[in-house]
Amino acid sequence: MKWAFLLISLGYLLIADGVLPAVATKQFQDVMTRGRAFSHNKYHGRLKDWSSDHNKWNDKLYPHWEEGDPRWNNCWKGGKVVATLTSDSPALVGSNVTFTVTLKFPRCQREDNDSNIVYDRKCLNGSSNYTEGLPDQYVYNWTEWIDNCGWGNCTHNNSHNNSHNVFPDGKPFPYHHDWRRRNFIYVFHTLGQYFQKTGGSSAVVSINTTNITLGKQMMEVSIYRRGYRSYVPVTAASIIYVVTDKITLYVNMTQKNDRNVSDHIFIKDIPITFEVKIHDPSHYLNSSNVSYQWNYGDGSGLFVSNNSVSTHTYKLQGNFSPDLLVQAFIPAPCGPVTPPPPPTTPAITTQLPPNVTTPTSYSLTDLPPAEGCHIARNGPYKTSISIVEGILGINIIQMTSIQVAATEVENSMVDFVVTCQGSLPTDACTMIADPTCQVLQSEACDPVDVADECLLTIRRAFNESGTYCVNITLGDATSLALTSTLVSIGGAGGSFSRTAEGVLIACGFLVVFAVCLTFFLYKRYKQYKPIEQEQVQEAPREGLKVYFNNVKAVLFPANNEKDPLLKTKPGIV
């Protein structure tokens, strides 16, 4: 009996001293359980500015509701708030991974400039039927609440006289100049640790992955809103993110005349451009020395470059498997290297584009050592492509005007005789635009049946006189080639042009005779003239020279073939 009394007395003393709790106290790990789903190992290091989830959770100020609790139905006026949590994973170990959570409010609700939640009275195409009968424009007028209590104490729960501006673990809110607009509390949880912050309808947090186990991890976030006597749970979200020791990358492959960029079918004898894109949103590799080693799979050998863009031309048809190895040497402090902990989860599977590479396995032998005060990382890439015969190019070799009715411009038609190199086309398209080739006026596509030689005639009608830009494309199942030309369609002015041409030719002979006579007289009777007089007469002589040049252009159009301006318009015949 004496011993029992001593034990009871000791228990009271321990409770009084806070060694034993009088009632069960919740911890962060009891409230937020998803953030430990992939974290049951000893390899995780401490995240900077994060705290252990063994800390106590203030359930009175931040009540915790289990999923399915009916109180969720009334936690927000007018409906439910949905949180979208995203990340820029996968992250190379040593880099930062960033998480963004965004709140989507119920229909016809939005956040105003003061971070109050208001009714959007124009959300129904200008109709106010949805908001008729509402007491005021606010869903939650937090500005008024805060103005009534100030920074020091914003609680109406005066019985306990507790400060309202604290997180679930009791730490006070950090002071921000815009603290009045931070009416949501975000609690992030991962790897057995948590991070708390205030904000508006969105929040962003980043963590460094140096001491994080390779593989899949879980991040979860719980969001609370400001209330009168406590903070009210609003919503929660979670997401899986990936930490890898391989450089994540994807490759864009493009080629001129390639009809479908996503089918990995390319054309023989036309260069293919390989553009490597490294996934590095935190710019971890900015100061690294990155090299690209290509093997295009056609027996042409290895190509190493520090340029992320390369080109290669396949000379034969068939299937090939180009592969790439990207290597990065990352500056690091000199000293012994501690490899990142191995993963404790199965192979990584993430919803990424098919040409994005991520690691599927890991071993300590795969880890390159840090030599010369740097860490070496690599990223492999391999794909399969098909090389086929395609249309390499097209040319317009002749244009013939067909005047159906001589007096009606509306019936003007032009035959375009087109040839192509490479495979035979199966369809032809013509696009007619304004002279700048910017404003499309008409478009027509037709199937074509070419037997042995790529030579076909395309007839197109023009409704008005003027100058047109004509684009002609020939295509088959895998390729598409294009050429352009300018066409001038003349109407009634055509007959005037022929008449004017005859008059100019007749007058031209007279001009040539006058020029010869003037030159003969000038050579025979040339006299000394002062410089001043020569300068005065120079201007009219220049005008005469320009005129003679214009006449020469009309009389001898063949000489204009050497005009360099004509070379800028290929396809004009």
pLDDT of residue 524: 47
Q: How many CB atoms lie within 10 A of CB 282?
A: 17
State residue 24's pLDDT score: 53
249-334+372-388 and 391-404+411-489 share one fold? yes
Specify the pLDDT at position 26: 86
Q: Buried (b) or exposed (e) across 176-195, using 16+ Cβ within 10 A?
A: eeeebbbbbbbbbbbbbbbb
The CATH class of 249-334+372-388 is mainly beta
**CATH number 2.30.110.20 given to 23-123+135-147+165-244:** no
Give me the pLDDT at residue 396, please: 93
- What ranges make up the beta strands (E) of 209-264? 215-225, 232-244, 249-255
Q: Would you put residue 17 in left (φ > 0), alpha (ψ -120 to 50) or beta?
A: alpha
pTM for this prediction: 0.68
H, E, C per residue of 393-445 = EEEEEEEEEEECCCCCHHHEEEEEEEEEEECCCCEEEEEEECCCCCCEEEEEE
CATH no. of 391-404+411-489: 2.60.40.1930
- The residue extents of the domains of the chain are 23-123+135-147+165-244, 249-334+372-388, 391-404+411-489
Write down the pLDDT at residue 321.
97
User: Residue holding tokens 């806070």?
Assistant: 18
Question: Mean pLDDT for each 10-residue chunk of the chain (573 residues)?
Answer: 52 45 71 66 73 93 88 89 96 96 93 86 59 67 66 44 76 80 92 94 95 94 88 94 96 93 93 97 95 96 96 96 96 70 44 43 40 86 95 91 61 88 92 91 90 88 89 92 89 38 45 51 44 39 38 40 35 34
Report whether 430 contacts 470 (CB < 8 A).
yes
